[in-house]
Structure 1
Amino acid sequence: MLFAFSRDGAVPGAKLWARVNKSKTPVYAVIAVTVAGLILTLPALWKVNIGTEEAPIYTVTAFFAVVSIGVLGLYLAFAIPIYYRWKAGAAFKQGTWNLGNKWKWMAPIAVIEILITSVYFILPLYPAGSPAFMRGFLGAPSAEDVPFDWKSVNYAPLVLGAIFIALWIGWHVTAKKWFTGPKMTIDLPQGVSSADEIALEHEHKGFHQPPEA
């Protein structure tokens, strides 16, 4: 994904991540993603005591937040295009392979399911991490019984909120001035969109294969 977005110039350092070696492998993108993955797992080594000194309860709150952010980010990445396809309605130009009119019920169900599932990942992990308005809800302990503690907070919604705000600002300040969308990576006949690639492959066998040397 980093390589694909880099070809479109959509990420910082795109020229580096889009480079390939002699075997046409995006080595730099692979290394970057591998290092990022290792860094993201480091919070698993940080254990937090949410209990007392006499009765310690150790947990990896930061790692739980990282996992929640990953799942939420993936789900929301699916929800956005599904929602806009639903919003476009009949005006949306379908490709060669499509689901016909089934989008009319599949799209809203998918969006609603994603939203409901996402709620689970933004809920507090422990009673001590619950905000004031959730205390006493469905039998949760009151603030007097279990004082609020930042060590028990689910940081996933806070981090995602900050990311969305940063992306919104970045888009309106600079990105929309230079980002023109995905770039074509294969040569298609004039007037043909990438949505027709499958049909072209059937009509012209070997269409996607590189020419012989």
Structure 2
Amino acid sequence: MQVIGGLVVIIMLPLVAHPTQPASYVFTHFETAPEDTGISSKLYAVIMSVLLSNYCLYGYDAAAHLTEETKGSDRTGPIAILTSIAIITVFGWAYNLALTFSIKNPSYLYDVNNETAGALVPAQIIYDAFYGRFHNSTGAVVFLCIIWGSFFFCGLSVTASAARVVYALSRDKGIPFSPIWRRIHPKHKVPTNAVWLCAVLSTILGIPILKLNVIFTAIISISTIGWVGSYGVPIFARLVMAEENFKPGPFYLGSRASRIICLVAFLWICYTCSAFLLPTLYPITWNTFNYAPVALGLVLSLIMLWWFLDARRWFKGPVRDLDIHNGNI
């Protein structure tokens, strides 16, 4: 359903918006809109422009979470991750091209007086395309419903992935009230309590977004930094690990190539995490400030405080399946 909906938007939007922007505009023009965004630096615009791809490409995280539950995960896991990246790359690139080719009035996109108050640029592009062609917004509403439907199914996937993480952590006694969250439903064989916990927390975090755009920016930034940064830990460990202590799996490019790739990946992760801490609008006010650094610092401080005061005395790391089967949890 998501693939079909995505193809409809990617193919139909440029046809509706005809005539479209020339390729020279799409691939060479910088639209900083300093009057509305407060950003005049092209370099800063480039940094901001890659945030979407940084966020979307990490959809492989869901595939990585499920490798533990698949047969032959040392092979099927990497295949699923690479396939996910390939699909997201193709569709994401096509979607961005469809949007940029379909822009009608660049100076109007960030105008606070436009139909989306200058805050929803993709929605404004779709609206301008349909209104300019048919003088009504019915088609734009249909397209936005397709996109919102994709968001909904994406939310379900993220919730399922988050529930899987909650279950794994509770299985390892890594979060409060672990016996509750690791409980498996006797009939459906899923951690129902963990799923409901993630659904409730997602709802609570999502409600303020309806009123404040800065909350959405902060949540997206924190979530991306959280899972991207988590991959930086094992990648950095691989960089500093002695070669004789590393046991390669089936997907291995050799010592020299793997270290180069790890270095590039680690530097990219550092860049990504840094970029998501930057403001997206200037001048900085209470309504434009990126609260991700504050929230991230607070969460990390609480976790470290909990670790030093309590958790380090009892948390011993992941519980092995053998221990679980023997009842030692």
* TM, length-normalised to structure 1: 0.68
* Distance of 2:207 and 2:241 partners within structure 1: 42
Q: Which residue is equivalent to 1:61?
A: 214
Q: Residue by residue, what CA displacement relative to the aligned partner does 1:7-66 show, whole Å, maximum 9, x if unpaired?
A: 00001111100001113211100111111111221122113xxxxxxxxxxxx1111111
Q: Which residue is equivalent to 2:258?
A: 103
* Distance of 1:65 and 1:43 partners within structure 2: 11
Q: In 2 relative to 1, CA 183–103 (structure 1 residues): closer, same or farther, beyond 3 Å?
A: same
Q: Which residue is equivalent to 2:185?
A: 21
Runs (4 or more) in structure 1 with deviation over 4 Å come to none
1:159 aligns with 2:295: yes
Q: CA deviation at 1:109?
A: 0.8
Q: CA deviation at 1:112?
A: 0.1
1:81 aligns with 2:234: yes
Aligned partner of 1:69: which letter? I
Superposed counterparts of 1:28-47, under 5 Å? 28-47=193-212
Q: Which residue is equivalent to 1:7?
A: 171
Q: Which residue is equivalent to 1:92?
A: 245
Q: Is the 8 A contact 1:8 1:183 kept in 2?
A: yes
* Distance of 2:307 and 2:241 partners within structure 1: 22
Superposed counterparts of 1:155-194, under 5 Å? 155-186=291-322
Aligned partner of 1:106: which letter? I
Q: CA deviation at 1:125?
A: 2.3
* Distance of 1:80 and 1:35 partners within structure 2: 29
Superposed counterparts of 1:191-210, under 5 Å? none
* Distance of 2:267 and 2:166 partners within structure 1: 28
Q: Which residue is equivalent to 1:115?
A: 270
Structure 2: runs of 5+ lacking an equivalent: 1-164, 324-329
Q: Residue by residue, what CA displacement relative to the aligned partner does 1:50-103 show, whole Å, maximum 9, x if unpaired?
A: xxxxxxxxxx11111111111111111111121122122325332543523133
Q: In 2 relative to 1, CA 20–73 (structure 1 residues): closer, same or farther, beyond 3 Å?
A: same
* Distance of 1:79 and 1:166 partners within structure 2: 21
Superposed counterparts of 1:127-138, under 5 Å? 127-129=282-284
Structure 1: runs of 5+ lacking an equivalent: 48-59, 130-148, 188-213
Q: Residue by residue, what CA displacement relative to the aligned partner does 1:136-178 show, whole Å, maximum 9, x if unpaired?
A: xxxxxxxxxxxxx222210001111111222222222221211
Total equivalences in the alignment: 157
Q: In 2 relative to 1, CA 103–177 (structure 1 residues): closer, same or farther, beyond 3 Å?
A: farther
* Distance of 1:34 and 1:123 partners within structure 2: 29
* TM, length-normalised to structure 2: 0.45
Q: Residue by residue, what CA displacement relative to the aligned partner does 1:108-146 show, whole Å, maximum 9, x if unpaired?
A: 1111001112222111122122xxxxxxxxxxxxxxxxx
Q: Per the alignment, in what secondary structure is the counterpart of residue 150 of structure 1? A: coil
Q: Is the 8 A contact 1:86 1:108 kept in 2?
A: yes
Higher helix share: 2
Identity %: 29
* Distance of 2:318 and 2:248 partners within structure 1: 16
* Distance of 1:96 and 1:67 partners within structure 2: 33
Q: Is the 8 A contact 1:6 1:14 kept in 2?
A: yes
